[in-house]
Structure 1
Amino acid sequence: MSLLVLENIDKEYRNQSVLNGVSLRVERGERVALIGPNGAGKTTLLKIAMGLEDSDGGSVITARNIKVGYLSQDLKEVESYEKSGERVIHYEKVYRLERKLRELKKQKAEGSYDSDAAKYKNLMDEYSRLLIRYETMDGYTIETKIKKILLGLGLRQESLSTPLSKLSGGEKMRVSVARILLEEPDLLILDEPTNHLDIHATEWFESFLKKI
């Protein structure tokens, strides 16, 4: 199954061709590396693939209903993306579900709806629905995954909830990498992700990518 297909992509900047008829296909389970000198158009191609920049010709096709994780090499872009509020991170969704399940469980224990069969049924139906969703999102194992990724990248638990603007350059990239990995996307698009990582974090990250 093709997750991403780029066909005959063209791009010019100030009448100078940067990309000329570039085609690329990424299949599920495949790893693809873009190699070239600075200014060859690697970042431009990735931005076009993500829909962050328009091409002057060609087409981009992304498989339907897949989750795409994108990491820019530009820390300002990474930070501005967070400020835009566009990303609601996977583990945050899990935590919200967990809180809601606790609330419903508390209501059930308090017997709030014992005298109203219809309301009690609605409560139990909602609890069952959310529990299935929680299990589907690996709610019972999310903490283990978080600790594994944080340890590998040399981060503290509180780093995940710290605004990127308050972190150093290296920390911003490590936190961004951690957040994307916790999303467990179907397609990972990484633009020089090791630029701001130390040797330990880089080695761990490379090992992690080989296993997924």
Structure 2
Amino acid sequence: MNVFVLTGAGISAESGLGTFRDPGGLWRRFDPMRLATPEAFAREPEEVHAFYNLRRHGVRQAEPNAAHAALVRLESGLAARGGRLFLCTQNVDDLHERAGARAVTHMHGELMRARCTACGESRPWAEELGLGTACPACGRRGGMRPDVVWFGEMPFHLEAIAEALDAADLFVAIGTSGAVYPAAGFVARARGAGIPTREVNLAPSDTAGLFDDARYGPATRAVPEAVDEILREAGAGP
């Protein structure tokens, strides 16, 4: 059984990382057009760096929760039966990896990586970034940025994502708002291909009507329950 799982900010909320569009979410408190675009970085790099340094600090302080751990169990359980989990996340945190996930596709990039706008070098980066940060590869200062996808930029790995989605036996969206494209369109693509679809979320998403079934509740409860169900369906669990 091949399962495609898409995760969004809701899976990390109980780890203390803010969601984006919910009441009190990051984009209710910060203007994304001032902080999350290439134009913003060109215009106000120090302010953009301050925002992402704050977020990077938050990720370092956060710990994976039971929902992240459940997906690790799903990954190993499917593999033991000759199946595969394709874990695609909209999140820029590293909690899936720290929980033990072996393969994670970050379509919106990774906050704990930095990329040089001059030479394109990308590498792991847990410390602060600023105008004085030199690229380890080319030595240029002022061009290092978070290796994340900003508004107006193309998400990463779209070809691999499309191939994995088309090959899936089940599509599951976890903790997503259903408001951000192209990820919000994955459920329609899956339905068009005849792939069963399932939503696991705190509350119905913007695309809830497109899912075949749903499980609602806090991620630390709903995701482990959903994983148990999938493993039973795959013959890989109790």
- With normalisation by structure 1, the TM-score equals 0.28
- With normalisation by structure 2, the TM-score equals 0.26
Normalized per residue, the structure richer in helix is 1
Bigger CA radius of gyration:
1
